[in-house]
C-alpha cells in the first residue's frame, strides 16, 4: 500500500453505524495514530442512507475522537487504501460466519495487492450480537434503537423511516 504510515483504514457500509462500529473505531485509534473510516458506496447492497448521509452521520458520531477521519469511496478497497496511504485494514469479527467471509475477502484483496494487510478485531462483548440490519429492522417496526446507535443515528433513522 505504498509508503508506510500509521493510518488504519476501517471500511464498511455503516448503514447505519452502530455502537459496535464506534467501539472498533475507538479501539483502532488506540492502536494507530490515525483511523480513516471508509464508507463504501454499497454497489452490492441496497442502502437506506446515501454515502453522503452516512459520512455526515459518522463524522458527527466521531466528533469527539481525535485522529479519526471519514470519507466515502466507490472503487476497490485495495485501491482506496493505497490512495489514502493506509498501512492496515481493520475488520471486525463478531461470529464464525464473519471470519469465513472476512478471511476470503482478505486473501482475495491480498492477491490484488500483495502488501495488503488486515487486522481483525473482536468487538467488546456487549456489542458482539449487534449489526446494522437488526438495528434497521427494530427502527422500521417502531422500536427504540437508542441503546444500539449514537443519538445522531437514532434521530436520522427515525426521520428516514417516518417514525420521528
Q: Is 51 part of a structural domain of the chain?
A: yes
pTM for the model stands at 0.90
Closest CA to 12 of 28, 36, 33: 36
Residues 64-94 pLDDT 10s: 999 999 999 999 999 999 999 998 999 988 8
54: domain CATH number is: 3.40.50.620
Active-site choice (94, 110, 140, 155): 94
Any catalytic annotation for residue 136?
A: no
> If DSSP codes are grouped into helix, strand and coil, which group holds residue 19?
helix
Active-site choice (28, 132, 136, 156): 132
Residue in this structure with the C-alpha cell 467488546, named with its chain if needed: 124
Active-site choice (13, 21, 28, 29): 21
Count structural domains, the chain.
1
Active-site choice (43, 44, 45, 97): 45
Predicted local confidence at residue 72, as pLDDT: 97
Predicted local confidence at residue 5, as pLDDT: 66
Any catalytic annotation for residue 21?
A: yes
Residues 35-65 pLDDT 10s: 999 999 976 778 999 999 999 999 999 999 9
- Section 147-154 average pLDDT: 96
Any catalytic annotation for residue 41?
A: no
**Structural Rg of the chain based on CA atoms:** 15
Which residue segment(s) compose the domain that 68 sits in? 7-126
**Residue 113 to residue 73: CA distance in whole angstroms:** 18
Q: Is 96 part of a structural domain of the chain?
A: yes
pLDDT, mean over the chain? 90
Amino acid at each position: 500500500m505504498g509508503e508506510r504510515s500509521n493510518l488504519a483504514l476501517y471500511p464498511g457500509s455503516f448503514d447505519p453505524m452502530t455502537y459496535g462500529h464506534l467501539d472498533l473505531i475507538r479501539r483502532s485509534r488506540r492502536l494507530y495514530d490515525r483511523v480513516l473510516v471508509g464508507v463504501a458506496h454499497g454497489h452490492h447492497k441496497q442502502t437506506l442512507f446515501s454515502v453522503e448521509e452516512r459520512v455526515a452521520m459518522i463524522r458527527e458520531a466521531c466528533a469527539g475522537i481525535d485522529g479519526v477521519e471519514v470519507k466515502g469511496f466507490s472503487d476497490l478497497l485495495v485501491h482506496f487504501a493505497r490512495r489514502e496511504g493506509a498501512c492496515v485494514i481493520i475488520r471486525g469479527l463478531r461470529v464464525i460466519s464473519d471470519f469465513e467471509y472476512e478471511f476470503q475477502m482478505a486473501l482475495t484483496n491480498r492477491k490484488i495487492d500483495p502488501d495488503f494487510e488486515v487486522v481483525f478485531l473482536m468487538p467488546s462483548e456487549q456489542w458482539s450480537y449487534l449489526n446494522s440490519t437488526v438495528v434497521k429492522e427494530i427502527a422500521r417496526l417502531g422500536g427504540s434503537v437508542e441503546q444500539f446507535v449514537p443519538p445522531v443515528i437514532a434521530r436520522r433513522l427515525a426521520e428516514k423511516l417516518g417514525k420521528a
